[in-house]
């Protein structure tokens, strides 16, 4: 029963995120009625939700029934520098919650449950429902913001002159890389509807002369003339065949422009060969249910995928985050 109750914790976190209730709390304990009055929510309901979440370590509860933030629940605040509020909202949006109602479809067929519910894959759902698409984009930006400092601690991008962030959304990853490497020029590449809003996001305001914006489908082309490509949480969205298409396009560019030192970098979770409950195993099921053929991969699976695209695995660097920095070179 404790395992089955997991959906209740997820929904409770989503509700706290959507109402912004945690923004009206602090490290000092306060009563549910006082918090509810500031947040504009029902006091009795808030008390019950906080009681549950405190019981699993997400808030702190005092003996007299007052509640305070702790380091976990503080991540629900919009102002927190590593806020997970947008991630909690996205993970409880209708497109994903409804998909899990058809988990049996994914288990029986291996197909994604989003298509079983909506008749189209998730990115088409976002196209038709921009609000959910915007929630997804904000969540990815928020998640990226929390992990990119750890990536930069282990990464060395100084040998490169031109790097493309493929599927880079509004450029959080690439902007941090350019800030740390003054000689590097960046190309932000994504779909037209994403790129048209990227300049306004202001990620490259400090170095506008070192960024180029390009739009298109990474199944058809990638930016030309680069000696490095980076993708964060792109490969895990797709099956091997589609990943091979993307990686092969990059291989061709590297072979033409940087055969000696060209690299492909992936920021992805890696499934380790141990039975422990690591985050990659949970995200792998999210990929099963919510993407068309997406999956988390083991080191051997990454090596095989690279090899199939004319690349070779050059290394996997574990960082202080659930993700790894994966590097590939020309085979």
CATH topology of domain 97-330: Rossmann fold (3.40.50)
The average confidence (pLDDT) of the chain is 96
Domain boundaries, the chain: 6-80, 97-330
pLDDT tens readout for residues 257-299? 999 999 999 999 999 999 999 999 999 999 999 999 999 999 9
- The pLDDT > 70 percentage for the chain reads 100
Domain 6-80 class, CATH top level: mainly alpha
Considering only CA atoms, which of 24, 7, 22 is closest in space to residue 72?
22
Residue 143 pLDDT: 87
Residue 321 pLDDT: 85
pLDDT tens readout for residues 55-67? 999 999 999 999 9
Active site residues: 236
The tokens describing 298, both together, are 């083991």
pTM of the predicted model as reported, rounded to 2 decimal places: 0.92
Residue 216 pLDDT: 97
Give the mean pLDDT of 83-91: 96
Residue 263's alpha-carbon distances to 86, 98, 160, in angstroms, are 32, 39, 9
Give the mean pLDDT of 179-189: 97
Query: C-alpha 108: how far from its chain's center?
Result: 27
pLDDT band at 226 (very low <50, low <70, confident <90, very high): very high
pLDDT band at 141 (very low <50, low <70, confident <90, very high): confident
Please, what is the Cα angle at 100 between 96 and 101, to 5 degrees?
Answer: 120
Nearest-angstrom CA–CA distance, 160 and 162: 6
pLDDT of 113 > 90? The answer is: yes
pLDDT of 253 > 90? The answer is: yes
pLDDT tens readout for residues 17-76? 999 999 999 999 999 999 999 999 999 999 999 999 999 999 999 999 999 999 999 999
**Secondary structure element (H or E) that encloses residue 46, with its range:** helix 43-55
pLDDT of 320 > 90? The answer is: no
Least confident of 28-32, 122-126, 227-231: 122-126
Strand ranges inside the chain, DSSP E: 60-61, 67-68, 162-166, 185-190, 211-215, 228-232, 263-268, 311-318, 324-330
pLDDT band at 193 (very low <50, low <70, confident <90, very high): confident
Residue 145 pLDDT: 87
């Amino acid at each position: 029963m404790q395992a089955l109750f997991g959906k209740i914790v997820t929904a409770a976190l989503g509700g706290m995120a959507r109402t912004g209730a945690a923004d009206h709390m602090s490290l000092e304990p306060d009563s549910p009625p006082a918090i509810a009055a500031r947040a504009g929510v029902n006091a009795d309901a808030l008390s019950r939700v906080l009681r549950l979440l405190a019981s699993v370590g997400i808030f702190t509860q005092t003996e007299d029934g007052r509640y305070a933030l702790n380091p976990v629940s503080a991540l629900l605040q919009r102002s927190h520098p590593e806020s997970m509020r947008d991630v909690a909202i996205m993970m409880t949006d209708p497109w994903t919650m409804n998909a899990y109602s058809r988990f049996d479809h994914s288990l029986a067929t291996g197909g994604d449950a989003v298509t079983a519910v909506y008749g189209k894959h998730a990115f088409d759902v976002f196209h038709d429902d921009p609000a959910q698409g915007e929630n997804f984009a904000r969540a990815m930006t928020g998640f990226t913001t929390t992990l990119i400092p750890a990536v930069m601690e282990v990464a060395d991008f100084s040998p490169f002159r031109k790097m493309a962030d493929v599927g880079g959304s509004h450029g959080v990853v690439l902007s941090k890389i350019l800030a740390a490497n003054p000689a590097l020029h960046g190309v932000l590449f994504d779909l037209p509807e994403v790129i048209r809003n990227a300049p306004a996001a202001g990620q490259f305001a400090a170095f506008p002369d070192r960024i180029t914006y390009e739009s298109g489908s990474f199944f058809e082309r990638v930016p030309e003339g680069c000696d490095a490509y980076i993708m964060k949480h792109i490969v895990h969205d797709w099956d091997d065949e589609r990943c091979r298409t993307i990686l092969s396009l990059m291989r061709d560019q590297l072979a033409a422009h940087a055969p000696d030192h060209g690299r492909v970098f992936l920021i992805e979770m890696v499934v380790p060969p141990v039975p422990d409950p690591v985050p990659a195993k949970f995200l792998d099921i999210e990929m099963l249910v919510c993407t068309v053929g997406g999956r988390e991969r083991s080191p051997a699976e990454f090596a095989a995928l690279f090899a199939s695209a004319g690349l070779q695995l050059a290394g996997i660097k574990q960082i202080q985050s659930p993700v790894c920095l994966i590097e590939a070179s020309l085979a």
